[in-house]
Chain A
Amino acid sequence: MGEEQQSGLVLRGIGKDLGGRTIVDDLDLVVAKGELVCLLGPSGCGKTTTLRMIAGFLNPDVGTISIDGKIVTTVPPEKRPTAMVFQNYALWPHMSVFENVAYPLKLRRTPKNEITARVHEMLELVNLMHHEKSRPARISGGEQQRVALARALVQRPAVLLLDEPLSNLDAKLRVRVREDIREIQQRLGITTVIVTHDQDEALSISDRVAVMNSGRIEQYSDPTELYRSPATRFVGGFVGAMNTLDGELRNATNDGGTDNTVAVVGGVTVPVDTPVDRPVAPGTAAGGRPVSLGVRPENVLLGPVEDGASAKIIRSIPRGHFTEVVIELATATGEPVELRSYLDDRSPIARLGPGDAVGVRLHSVLCYDQDGRLR
């Protein structure tokens, strides 16, 4: 129970069916006090349903939710110490910006001068004092979002919830706003849960990210760990780009007599530069169980033909600060295996064109079993 008391928000064994479909399935989540956690996943993975259960708009079928050690599983939203920023901001159009932010305080029968002081404090925090008297419809999307944030923060919630907070903003603004959100969150030290389908957003502002799929959390870890060693093939594919190959990892003895790791894909051996993050039991795939390998595009290293397994370039796609090169591995079976690689523009390989031959080496190869779990 110790963890429970120190934690801001704890979800235990949460399950929810809606319209005969299981949306959230036996979900556990612990968010420490002052931590920012992103629920990341494709649409329909149950992340918004989870958030709505935390806010109290939905009651879980099974499981418990507690905030600061108090069970709130069936407490209605108006009695929960949570505050939510809605995806469409849900600012009330018949009230001014000031009145929107003051509304939660009015409900709590806060004295008038205190309301004014606290609303002003919040509007200053989100830099919107000059729009105090404006109607929500007269201000920009980014400003509306800040009003929604101020309205949530003025309640001094134990847990702040944001539902796709950046999805209605244009790309440039998104980066700035997410940094603003992070900064305010850290300054106030407020426990925060953000729902998003944008991995960039999740990786850049979270203390921890919970990747959800089909109503379950597939991995819950800090952004670096999440990117470096995705716990499942799904996470690897969803967070960042990932080449998935049917093959296995083996230990091979090279000419010098030292042990070396190689990937065997389609009957050809591809050298692996670094030992994999986790120890590889040699020949684990030999038992006939299918295994798949995951390699980030930046870990597919291209060089001269004589260096590594032979492949040929299919196409190069300029991506601004790097070049994405699609190559085809020459396999023994004749079945084509495509790999994507990110190349520095200054690399001589980046100047090669379709049909040119290159050598392939791999780096940081991840190995998944037939259930898609990292080994």
Chain B
Amino acid sequence: MPVSALVAKIARQVLTVIFIVALLTFIVGPLLWLAIRAFSTSWTYPRLLPDGWTLQWFGRVFDDPQLFSSIRLSIEFAITTLIVSSVICLPAAYAFSRFDFPGRRVFLIGLFATNAFPKTGLYVALAALFYAFNLMSTFGGVVVVHLLGTIVFMTWIPAAAFASVPRSFEEAARDAGGGRLRVFFTITLPLAMPGILVALIMSFLASFDEAQGTYLVGAPEFYTMPTEMYSLVLNYPRQVAAVFSILLSIPSVVLLMLVRKHVMGGQLAEGFQIR
């Protein structure tokens, strides 16, 4: 092997190692710091490890009625959002995938475009409307805000999932004697389920994570976990914020693990390829 090729090979390997280390430092590093922090009594510079280990911060979070209720509220909002979003978006997704109606593309792109504007601007306009309709500081108002963030996922990904079910599967079921609804629930829906699951998870996380709009519309009546974070950082010991961050990320990790197969299987990527 010529020397130059050998040098190139070594250089490539060194670069790869540097890249991986950088990746770990900037992605895993902060998470690790957060995790250690949540279990430490105190952690002061320049010490490499915390001064001591404790579970007291977890107790502090669960004992605090306001923090605990925010956890419950977050879950309630997420589940309500999923149900309402499914009812509204899944039929729309089926229509997008199966029927060619006037304005189909405009609607499809329009859904995406709502995400193109800065959210804050959108919420200011939304607040004006909500005052008019008495939706400010109501459960329904917050659900509407959460819906806005999930509509794209719940329409585009299931639409692609429905589109990937060959029409002949449905026709074969009609031919076998099934009415339209029966065919949808026994053939189309089960076959599109992986894609729909991905959409549900993305939506759950989007709702679970929503802070800006929830704060604007929900405060002071409704504090979810992300909105609680604002006051948490200022008013509690830092370790409590770390504990809260970890709690906030548990659903993401659990859900992603559960559907890893589908997400990895390219369902997600396919979800955005509907034409």
Nearest chain B CB to A103's CB is how many angstroms away? 6
Say yes or no: is A332 at the interface (Cβ < 8 Å to chain B). Answer: no
Say yes or no: is B191 at the interface (Cβ < 8 Å to chain A). Answer: yes
Q: With A93-B191, A94-B190 known to touch, is A77 a contact of B166 (CB < 8 Å)?
A: no
CB closest residue in chain B, given A77: B174
**Residues B191 and A86 in contact, CB atoms below 8 Å apart:** no
Say yes or no: is A372 at the interface (Cβ < 8 Å to chain B). Answer: no
**Residues A107 and B175 in contact, CB atoms below 8 Å apart:** no
Say yes or no: is B178 at the interface (Cβ < 8 Å to chain A). Answer: yes
**Residues B178 and A90 in contact, CB atoms below 8 Å apart:** no
**Residues A92 and B178 in contact, CB atoms below 8 Å apart:** no
Q: How far is the CA of A56 from the CA of B171 in the complex (A)?
A: 10
**Residues A107 and B182 in contact, CB atoms below 8 Å apart:** yes
Report A-chain residues with C-beta under 8 Å of the C-beta of B187. 92
Report B-chain residues with C-beta under 8 Å of the C-beta of A84. 171-172, 175
Report A-chain residues with C-beta under 8 Å of the C-beta of B175. 55-57, 77-78, 82-84
CB closest residue in chain A, given B186: A103
Nearest chain A CB to B212's CB is how many angstroms away? 40
Report B-chain residues with C-beta under 8 Å of the C-beta of A56. 174-175
Nearest chain B CB to A285's CB is how many angstroms away? 50
Say yes or no: is B102 at the interface (Cβ < 8 Å to chain A). Answer: no
Report A-chain residues with C-beta under 8 Å of the C-beta of B103. none
**Number of interchain pairs (Cβ within 8 Å):** 58
Report A-chain residues with C-beta under 8 Å of the C-beta of B172. 84, 86, 90-92, 151
Q: Report the 10 A-B pairs with minimum CB-CB distance, sorted nearest first.
A: A104-B176, A90-B172, A90-B168, A107-B177, A77-B174, A84-B175, A78-B177, A86-B168, A77-B175, A78-B174
Q: How far is the CA of A103 from the CA of B168 in the complex (A)?
A: 15
Say yes or no: is B179 at the interface (Cβ < 8 Å to chain A). Answer: yes
Q: How far is the CA of A144 from the CA of B176 in the complex (A)?
A: 17
Q: What 1/0 mask marks residues of chain A from 67 to 107 whose CB sits below 8 Å from any chain B CB?
A: 00000000011110011101110111110000000011001
Q: With A94-B190, A94-B191 known to touch, is A108 a contact of B168 (CB < 8 Å)?
A: no
List chain B positions with a Cβ less than 8 A from chain A.
166, 168-169, 171-179, 182, 186-187, 190-191
**Residues B174 and A103 in contact, CB atoms below 8 Å apart:** no
Report B-chain residues with C-beta under 8 Å of the C-beta of A55. 175
CB closest residue in chain B, given A101: B176
Interface residues of A in 151-204 (CB under 8 A from B): 151, 155
| Contact count band on A | 20 to 34
Q: How far is the CA of A55 from the CA of B172 in the complex (A)?
A: 10
Q: How far is the CA of A94 from the CA of B176 in the complex (A)?
A: 16
CB closest residue in chain A, given B170: A90
Q: How far is the CA of A39 from the CA of B186 in the complex (A)?
A: 33
- 5 interchain pairs, CB-CB under 8 A: A78-B177, A86-B172, A92-B169, A92-B173, A107-B178
Nearest chain B CB to A270's CB is how many angstroms away? 52
8 more contacts with CB within 8 A, not counting A79-B177, A84-B175, A90-B172, are: A57-B174, A77-B171, A78-B175, A88-B166, A90-B169, A94-B191, A104-B177, A107-B178
CB closest residue in chain B, given A151: B176
**B interface, by DSSP: helix, strand, loop or mixed?**
helix
Nearest chain B CB to A193's CB is how many angstroms away? 14
Report B-chain residues with C-beta under 8 Å of the C-beta of A87. 168
Nearest chain A CB to B8's CB is how many angstroms away? 44
**Residues B182 and A76 in contact, CB atoms below 8 Å apart:** no
Nearest chain A CB to B162's CB is how many angstroms away? 15
- Listed residue (B173, B176, B177, B191) with the most chain A CB atoms within 10 angstroms of its CB: B176
Nearest chain B CB to A200's CB is how many angstroms away? 25
Q: How far is the CA of A83 from the CA of B178 in the complex (A)?
A: 12
Nearest chain A CB to B95's CB is how many angstroms away? 20
Nearest chain B CB to A90's CB is how many angstroms away? 4
Q: What 1/0 mask marks residues of chain A from 228 to 255 whose CB sits below 8 Å from any chain B CB?
A: 0000000000000000000000000000
**Residues A83 and B191 in contact, CB atoms below 8 Å apart:** no
Nearest chain B CB to A29's CB is how many angstroms away? 20
Q: How far is the CA of A366 from the CA of B101 in the complex (A)?
A: 53
Q: How far is the CA of A87 from the CA of B168 in the complex (A)?
A: 9
From A57, A76, A88, A103, B176 is in contact (CB under 8 Å) with A103
CB closest residue in chain A, given B193: A94
Q: What 1/0 mask marks residues of chain A from 315 to 332 whose CB sits below 8 Å from any chain B CB?
A: 000000000000000000
Q: How far is the CA of A78 from the CA of B186 in the complex (A)?
A: 15
Q: How far is the CA of A92 from the CA of B163 in the complex (A)?
A: 15
Q: How far is the CA of A82 from the CA of B174 in the complex (A)?
A: 11
From B171, B177, B186, A155 is in contact (CB under 8 Å) with B177
Q: How far is the CA of A94 from the CA of B189 in the complex (A)?
A: 11
Report B-chain residues with C-beta under 8 Å of the C-beta of A108. 177
Q: How far is the CA of A88 from the CA of B171 in the complex (A)?
A: 12
CB closest residue in chain B, given A83: B175
Q: How far is the CA of A92 from the CA of B190 in the complex (A)?
A: 10
**Residues B166 and A90 in contact, CB atoms below 8 Å apart:** yes
- Listed residue (B168, B169, B175, B182) with the most chain A CB atoms within 10 angstroms of its CB: B175
Nearest chain B CB to A261's CB is how many angstroms away? 53
**Residues B173 and A76 in contact, CB atoms below 8 Å apart:** no
Nearest chain A CB to B106's CB is how many angstroms away? 23
Report B-chain residues with C-beta under 8 Å of the C-beta of A57. 171, 174-175
Q: With A92-B187, A92-B191, A93-B191 known to touch, is A78 a contact of B178 (CB < 8 Å)?
A: yes
Q: What 1/0 mask marks residues of chain A from 96 to 123 whose CB sits below 8 Å from any chain B CB?
A: 0000000110011000000000000000
Report B-chain residues with C-beta under 8 Å of the C-beta of A104. 176-177
Q: With A78-B178, A93-B191 known to touch, is A88 a contact of B168 (CB < 8 Å)?
A: yes
Q: How far is the CA of A137 from the CA of B166 in the complex (A)?
A: 15
